[in-house]
Each structure stands twice: as structure tokens, then as C-alpha cells.
């Protein structure tokens, strides 16, 4: 037994207990202990990760006899370092940010409990530990989001989160019991080994066990990672304290990506769940990004941005790029944490000085004076926009992972990356600048650096997390028939090119205004639909009210007995 490994998740749990027991009335004491415990957890996580990189082999440590086991594999160690790192940032930020809030020590104790629970969740090596931690995250998040009890809104939105999380708990319960009853073991490594030995050996309800559990695990991940139809809670979690929003958007919401990776040995033998994940992720990314653009509340807009990112992350899993999803969740986590935690400074700076440079955009939009736009020649810009991303992406991927170049998932991902890159360059071309060559050069240089960095890091991530054979099996599992694949690619290409053409002609011929004049009713209906967030939350609220009314009537008939 390695005591160093076992104590990692217990350090923040112990800090929480100490705060509840003896530091309930000491603000500085509670904050200091909490930050110190998280720092120790972070350092221990880094030491264990470094140790594993140097010499390690995956192993399981047992705390209890039936459950309570910890799986020290690369996924756990990466997630431990990430979770404790984000938690440390949030703790340090909260020391001053929350100082005037009531129940300050309790807030830190709850943060510590949440950190400990997530550490247990990502390291669980058996089904009961996973279920316990998975459940507790939802419960603790409810109390963290509802920290400000004076505001009924924070209670309402904490409840939305709690009930959506509960919806996501159910498929995981069922998946856990299907696995336990099929393989007669609670230990995940044992179950995965049995599945690898005979993937189709056990069938229930007309499908193999990996197929059923794959779908159920994907459903559980959808609820945690705010996928379409289970996303209504996410934009409203902003009603909690800012550090909790940061922890939520940077860490907790990524649980879906983690779950896909934890159950990757199952997904190696079932394609159906991955295809569902791809479609749901794609819809979520599109809907999340569209709703983000239409919001007039900056915080809610950030919430929908997270939804879009989660859609991309799930889509990556659906394409078989599991390690990329882990890299994505870490990159997105730090990026979102910095956005949330820096929001206060940005607002403060903006109040002192709007910081907008007097460039042509400012002159045109704010001062409403005509400007003469300076842009690259149209043909040069079009060539750069379309060709450069193809070249950069293809070359960088070719050099690091040639063997994966012909996998369907990789090609779709490169296609999306190309569209995103082209879109970024196109947007840069539309901006005006005194020296357009300098602007485009800067954007191109950044693009090349980002792509090469991203490709290299994700490649090393993949090598660290999965064996070469496992990666190939995951890509193969995510593949579809060649005809369906080609039809899908053609549809995607037509959609993107059509979108660009529409944007170009829309700008050139003032199409938006003409459409809005001609079909104003339809235009307003779509605007209302989007601005009311597709009426999804309204629908849920209405259904809830009807059920509540039925429950009340039943109680009156039966005289509350």
C-alpha cells in the first residue's frame, strides 16, 4: 500500500471536518487551513504524476474491503493534478472575494469536501466508490450554488442543477448494476479485463453488455456535461458565488469527458454509444454557440459558451478521440477559470477606463464617423483563409501521428479544425487595420503556433493515456460505413461552404435586412425562440407544475395519509 497515494483525497476531506468541528467561527483560520490543505493536495498530486511518468505502472490501492479502492492510472493522476490545481486557484481567489459573505468558514469546508469528492470520483476503481462520489458531487454542488440563502433565485437554480444531476445519476446506477450482475465483480479493472477477453459474451435485452453500458454511461455524461435537452441548468449556475461558477465551469461540468475516458475500455467494443455521443455533441455545440451569440447577459453568454465547449468535448469522444477530450477539458478548464476569476478585474478596469483603442472600428461604431476600411485583396485573403489551415493542420498531424491519419474520427476532427481555422482567418480579414498585412501575419503566426502546440500536446497526451492498440480500437469503434461517412462529410462540407457563401452575400447585399423586412413575422419568431432559450426550461417548469398539482390533488383525496 502506498500511503502517499491514499492520503491525497483525504487531505481536503480532513480539512473540511476540522473546519466544521473547530474552526466554524474563525474566518482566517478556516481559509488558511483550507488553502494549505489544497496546496498540499496539489503538490502530492504533482509528485505522484511525476513519479508515474518516471517509473510508474498503473495499480489499485484498497482502503475498504468491499469498496473504497483507488485506481492509480494515468487518467487518475492527470485528473488529480488538474482538479487540485483548479481547486487551489479557486480557494486562493475565494479568500478575499468571499470575506464579507456570511458563512465564510462553511464555504471553505464545502469547497474542501467538493474537492475531496471529485478526487475520489476520478480515482474510483470500483463501482460503489464511483456511485458514492458521483452522487455526492451533485449534493455538494447544490449547497455550494445555494450558498447565498437570502436569494430565492440561487435556491431555484441550485435545485435545477441538482435535479438534472439526479437524472444523470440514474443511467450510471443502471450501468453499474448491469456490469456487476454480468461480470460478478465490483472492481473496474476486473470488469474491463473480462470485457476485453470476451466483449460479446454477455447479452441482455437483445444487446451486448458493452453496448448497453456504453449508452447508459454516455447518458450519465450528457447530464453532467450539459448536453442538449439536459443543459437548462448550466447558464443559470451563475447565480451562485463567482468562485463556485469558476469551479463549476472549469471543473465539475467536465465530468462527462472524464466518464467517457474512465469507461473507454467499454467503448472500444461498442460503436452505437459513440455515434449517439457524436450527434448529441454536435447538436449541443451548435445550439450552445447559437444561444451564446444571442444572449444580452454576459454571464449567461459565458454559460452557453461552456455548453458549446462541452458539446465539442463529447463530440471528440464520439469520434474516438478520447485523449483529446481530456486535453480539451483541461485546456477549457484553465481558460474558463481565468475568465471567471478575472471577471471582477475586467469590470473594475472597464469602469475606470473603457480601454477601447481609437482604431477605425471604434471610430465607426462608437463615434459613428465614416472610415475607410483597409483590407487585404479579396483573392489573397480567400487563398490564405482556405489554404493555410489545410496545410498547417495536415503537416502538423502528419509529423506526429501518421498512423492515425486515415482514421475517420481524425479526418472529421481535422475537418472541423480546418473550418474553425478558416473562420478565424476570415474574421481577421473582415477587421480593419492600418496595416492589414501585419494583422494577417500576426493571426497566421498565432494560428501556426496554436495548431502545432495543440497537435503535439494532444499527441503526447494520447501516448500517455492509451496504448497504441487501444487508440486504434477506439477510432475503429467510432467509425461508420464508408458510404455513410462520405455522405456525412459531403453534407458537412456543403453546410459550411453554404454558410460562408451566405455570410459573404449577406454582408455584400445587405441580405439580413431584406429578409427581416420581407419575413418579419418568421424572423421575430426565430428570435423569440432563441432568446427564450428554445422554451426548453419553460416546458420543464410547466410539466413540473402539472405534476405538482396532481400530487396535491392525490394528497387531498387521501387526506394526507
In whole angstroms, what separates CA 231 from the centre of its chain? 12
Q: Which stretch binds another protein (CB under 8 A): 254-262, 293-301, 493-501, 545-553?
A: 545-553
Does position 39 bind another protein by CB under 8 A?
A: no
Residues 119-138: x where in contact with another protein by CB under 8 A, - otherwise, as a string: ---------x--xxx-xx--
The candidate with the shortest Cα–Cα distance to 277, out of 259, 253, 301, 296, is 259
Instruction: Kindly tell me the burial class for residue 472, based on how many C-beta atoms sit within 10 Å of its own C-beta (0-12, 13-18, 19 or more).
Output: middle
Using CB under 8 A as the binding criterion, the count of chain residues that bind another protein stands at 45
The span from the CA of 467 to the CA of 215, in Å, is 24
CB closer to another protein out of 100 and 469: 100
Answer for which of 167, 207, 401, 488 binds another protein (CB under 8 A) is 167
CB contact at 8 A, 41 and 113: no
CB closer to another protein out of 108 and 418: 108
* DSSP-derived secondary structure for 458-503: HHHHHHHHS-HHHHHHHHHHH---HHHHHHHHHHHHHHHHHHHHHH
**CA-CA-CA-CA torsion for 279, 280, 282, 284, nearest 10 degrees?**
160
Least separation in angstroms between CB 74 and another protein: 27
CA 218 vs CA 127, 213, 223: distances in Å: 16, 8, 9
Least separation in angstroms between CB 152 and another protein: 5
Does position 184 bind another protein by CB under 8 A?
A: no
CB closer to another protein out of 67 and 108: 67
Answer for which of 99, 204, 450, 546 binds another protein (CB under 8 A) is 204
Does position 156 bind another protein by CB under 8 A?
A: yes
Residues 75-114: x where in contact with another protein by CB under 8 A, - otherwise, as a string: ----------------------------------------
In whole angstroms, what separates CA 157 from the centre of its chain? 19
Answer for which of 109, 186, 337, 425 binds another protein (CB under 8 A) is 186
Answer for which of 170, 391, 493, 543 binds another protein (CB under 8 A) is 170
The span from the CA of 256 to the CA of 222, in Å, is 6
Does position 6 bind another protein by CB under 8 A?
A: no
**Residue numbers 410-449 binding another protein by CB under 8 A:** none
The span from the CA of 316 to the CA of 330, in Å, is 14
Least separation in angstroms between CB 68 and another protein: 9
Q: Which stretch binds another protein (CB under 8 A): 147-155, 254-262, 419-427, 529-537?
A: 147-155
The span from the CA of 195 to the CA of 267, in Å, is 10
Does position 539 bind another protein by CB under 8 A?
A: no
Least separation in angstroms between CB 128 and another protein: 7
CB closer to another protein out of 56 and 155: 155
**Dihedral sign of CA atoms 358, 363, 365, 366 in order:** positive
Please tell me what DSSP assigns to residue 187.
B
CB contact at 8 A, 25 and 105: yes
CB closer to another protein out of 206 and 348: 206
CB closer to another protein out of 134 and 192: 134
265: number of Cβ within 10 Å: 20
The candidate with the shortest Cα–Cα distance to 93, out of 271, 437, 345, is 345
Does position 382 bind another protein by CB under 8 A?
A: no
Answer for which of 72, 95, 111, 169 binds another protein (CB under 8 A) is 169
CB closer to another protein out of 180 and 485: 180
CB closer to another protein out of 415 and 540: 540
Does position 555 bind another protein by CB under 8 A?
A: yes
CB closer to another protein out of 216 and 425: 216
CB closer to another protein out of 27 and 59: 27
Least separation in angstroms between CB 176 and another protein: 9
Rg from Cα positions in the chain: 25
SS3 of 438, please? Answer: helix
Least separation in angstroms between CB 433 and another protein: 51
CB contact at 8 A, 410 and 455: no
Q: Which stretch binds another protein (CB under 8 A): 63-71, 195-203, 467-475, 498-506?
A: 63-71
CB contact at 8 A, 167 and 230: yes
Pairing between β-strand 207-208 and β-strand 203-204 as defined by DSSP bridges: antiparallel
* DSSP-derived secondary structure for 96-159: HHTTTSTTHHHHHHHHHHHHHHHHHHHHB-BHHHHHHHHHHHHHHHHHHHT--TT-HHHHHHHH
Please tell me what DSSP assigns to residue 374.
-
**Dihedral sign of CA atoms 338, 340, 344, 349 in order:** positive
Does position 547 bind another protein by CB under 8 A?
A: yes
Does position 154 bind another protein by CB under 8 A?
A: yes
Answer for which of 25, 57, 150, 197 binds another protein (CB under 8 A) is 150
**Residue numbers 464-523 binding another protein by CB under 8 A:** none
Positions in the binding site for another protein (CB under 8 A): 64-67, 128, 131-133, 135-136, 139, 142, 146, 149-152, 154-156, 158-159, 162-163, 166-167, 169-170, 173-174, 177-178, 180-181, 186, 204, 547-548, 551-552, 554-555, 558, 560-561
Amino acid at each position: 500500500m502506498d500511503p502517499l497515494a491514499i492520503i491525497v483525497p483525504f487531505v481536503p476531506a480532513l480539512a473540511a471536518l476540522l473546519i466544521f468541528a473547530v474552526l466554524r467561527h474563525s474566518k482566517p483560520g478556516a481559509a488558511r487551513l483550507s488553502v494549505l490543505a489544497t496546496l498540499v493536495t496539489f503538490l502530492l498530486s504533482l509528485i505522484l504524476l511525476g513519479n508515474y511518468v518516471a517509473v510508474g505502472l498503473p495499480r489499485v490501492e484498497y482502503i475498504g474491503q468491499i469498496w473504497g479502492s483507488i485506481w492509480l492510472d494515468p487518467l487518475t493522476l492527470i485528473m488529480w493534478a488538474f482538479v487540485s490545481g483548479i481547486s487551489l486557484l479557486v480557494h486562493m481567489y475565494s479568500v478575499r472575494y468571499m470575506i464579507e459573505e456570511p458563512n465564510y468558514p462553511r464555504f471553505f469546508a464545502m469547497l474542501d469536501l467538493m474537492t475531496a469528492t471529485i478526487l475520489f470520483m476520478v480515482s474510483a476503481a470500483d463501482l460503489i466508490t464511483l456511485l458514492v462520489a458521483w452522487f455526492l458531487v451533485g449534493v455538494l454542488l447544490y449547497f455550494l450554488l445555494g450558498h447565498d440563502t437570502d436569494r430565492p433565485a440561487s435556491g431555484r437554480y441550485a435545485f435545477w442543477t441538482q435535479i438534472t444531476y439526479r437524472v444523470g445519476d440514474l443511467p450510471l446506477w443502471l450501468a453499474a448494476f448491469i456490469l456487476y450482475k454480468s461480470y460478478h465483480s465490483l472492481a473496474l479493472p476486473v470488469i474491463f479485463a473480462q470485457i476485453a477477453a470476451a466483449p460479446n459474451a454477455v447479452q441482455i435485452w437483445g444487446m451486448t453488455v458493452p453496448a448497453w453500458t456504453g449508452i447508459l454511461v454516455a447518458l450519465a455524461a450528457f447530464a453532467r456535461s450539459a448536453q442538449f435537452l439536459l443543459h437548462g441548468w448550466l447558464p443559470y449556475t451563475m447565480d451562485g458565488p463567482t468562485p463556485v461558477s469558476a469551479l463549476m465551469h472549469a471543473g465539475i461540468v467536465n465530468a462527462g469527458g472524464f466518464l467517457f475516458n474512465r469507461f473507454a475500455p467499454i467503448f472500444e467494443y461498442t460503436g452505437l454509444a459513440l455515434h449517439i455521443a457524436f450527434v448529441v455533441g454536435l447538436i449541443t455545440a451548435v445550439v450552445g454557440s447559437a444561444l451564446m451569440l444571442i444572449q444580452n447577459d454576459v454571464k449567461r453568454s459565458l454559460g452557453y459558451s461552456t455548453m458549446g465547449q462541452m458539446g465539442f468535448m463529447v463530440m471528440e469522444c464520439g469520434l474516438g478521440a478520447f485523449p483529446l477530450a481530456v486535453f480539451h477539458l483541461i485546456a477549457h478548464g484553465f481558460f474558463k477559470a481565468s475568465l471567471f476569476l478575472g471577471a471582477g478585474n475586467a469590470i473594475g478596469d472597464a469602469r475606470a477606463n473603457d480601454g477601447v483603442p481609437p482604431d477605425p472600428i471604434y471610430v465607426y461604431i462608437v463615434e459613428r464617423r465614416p472610415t475607410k476600411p483597409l483590407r487585404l485583396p479579396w483573392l489573397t485573403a480567400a487563398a490564405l483563409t482556405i489554404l493555410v489551415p489545410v496545410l498547417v493542420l495536415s503537416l502538423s498531424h502528419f509529423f506526429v501521428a501518421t498512423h492515425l491519419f486515415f482514421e475517420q474520427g481524425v479526418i472529421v476532427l481535422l475537418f472541423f479544425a480546418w473550418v474553425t481555422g478558416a473562420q478565424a482567418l476570415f474574421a481577421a480579414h473582415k477587421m480593419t487595420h492600418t496595416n492589414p498585412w501585419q494583422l494577417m501575419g500576426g493571426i497566421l503566426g498565432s494560428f501556426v503556433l496554436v495548431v502545432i502546440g495543440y497537435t503535439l500536446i494532444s499527441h503526447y497526451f494520447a501516448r500517455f493515456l492509451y496504448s497504441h492498440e487501444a487508440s486504434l480500437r477506439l477510432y475503429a469503434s467510432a467509425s461508420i460505413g464508408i458510404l455513410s461517412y462520405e455522405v456525412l462529410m459531403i453534407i458537412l462540407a456543403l453546410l459550411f461552404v453554404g454558410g460562408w457563401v451566405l455570410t459573404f452575400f449577406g454582408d455584400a447585399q445587405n441580405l439580413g435586412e431584406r429578409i427581416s423586412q420581407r419575413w418579419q413575422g418568421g424572423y421575430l419568431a426565430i428570435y423569440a425562440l432563441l432568446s427564450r432559450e428554445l422554451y426548453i426550461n419553460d416546458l420543464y417548469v410547466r410539466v413540473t407544475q402539472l405534476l405538482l398539482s396532481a400530487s396535491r390533488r392525490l394528497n387531498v383525496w387521501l387526506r394526507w395519509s
